[in-house]
Amino acid sequence: MAVTDTPESVADVKESLGEVGYLADESVALVSYLAQRLGKPVLVEGPAGVGKTELAKALHRASGRELIRLQCYEGLDEAKALYEWNYRKQLLRIQAEAGEAADRGKPWDAVHDDIFSEEFILTRPLLAAIASEEPVVLLIDEIDKTDQEFEAMLLEVLSDFQISIPELGVIGARTRPLVVLTSNNSRELTEALKRRCLYLWLDYPAIEREVEIVRLHAPDLDAQLARRLVEVVHMVRSLDLKKPPSIAESIDWARAVLLLGADDLDRSVFERTMSIIVKHRTDLDLVAERVGVKLGEEDRLDLGAAGGQRS
């Protein structure tokens, strides 16, 4: 896919994201536009499942840039994020040149310079993004799972778009990547990191917007049923759950209801399918008790009203 030009307006960004299936509100479109025009990273925070990672993927699809993803986790270090030396290959080269060095009096410095060259580097996501000859979207996903030392290492990348390798020197970006960092807000990030980024907070969408999202991905679902489904999802999210349903799970649920041929979301359909949106055993009990019972009461009221009309 060809890389598109830098967007000319916020409206251009909103439209291009919509064309690839991401319904962006004004704040998302604005920050995405400024990130591309100013060349600054974006820090996207919010609860799990609100579409933070999906925004980076949508920017990748809309812009035509390659997506390079660094999935963060506890204990992530420079060797897995930046680069590491291919020690086996270096050892083979040393062994191959050891005899030559002895026979010809080749100095060790020459061997040292040879094995510490780009040929012997194993490129990891951050270096790959910096060294890429084509523009990329760099997704640094769940940065809050790392520690402050890792954040400090990131500052050079986010400030100057360069990486310092002691044996080689500084490698600067050939093209400036569009950087998206996501955080589930599980810990407070450092001020130094935040200063280098544009900031975007994403929360669960309002019912009307989530209905739009669901119908975009499940267009055959009846509009009234889609709204009913999203209202139930919002009821579930209002409970004190270990894991509230994500937007992606709302979409999965809508597709499942569609496949089952249900024309209403009554208690029976809900209890058969609620494991699509509820993923913890204790949450299942709580949701069945609160939401399932409420749906059952609504079913009885509907039946009572229908019986009254018939009489």
Report how far residue 83's alpha carbon sits from residue 92's, in angstroms, rounded to the nearest whole number: 20
List alpha helices for the chain, DSSP H.
Answer: 10-19, 26-38, 52-63, 78-81, 87-104, 108-115, 125-131, 148-160, 191-195, 207-217, 223-237, 247-260, 267-273, 281-287, 293-310
Residue 90 in any domain: the answer is yes
Assess whether 180 and 223 both reside in one domain: no
Domain termination site, one of 92, 115, 138: 115
**Interval 2-11: pLDDT, tens:** 566 789 999 9
* Residues 66-90 as b or e (16 or more Cβ within 10 Å = b): bbbbbebeeebeeebbbbbeeeeeb
Assess whether 238 and 91 both reside in one domain: no
Residue 217 in any domain: the answer is yes
* Residues 112-136 as b or e (16 or more Cβ within 10 Å = b): eeebbeeebbeebbbbbbbbbeebb
Per-residue pLDDT, averaged over 201-224, amounts to 96
- Give the domain CATH number at 67: 3.40.50.300
pLDDT at position 106: 57
- In which domain, by residue range, is 274 found? 207-304
**Interval 88-116: pLDDT, tens:** 887 887 777 766 655 555 555 556 567 77
Helix (H, G, I), strand (E, B) or coil at 81: helix
Assess whether 111 and 137 both reside in one domain: no
pLDDT at position 127: 94
Domain termination site, one of 145, 171, 201: 201
Assess whether 193 and 93 both reside in one domain: no
Report how far residue 240's alpha carbon sits from residue 21's, in angstroms, rounded to the nearest whole number: 30
Assess whether 279 and 236 both reside in one domain: yes
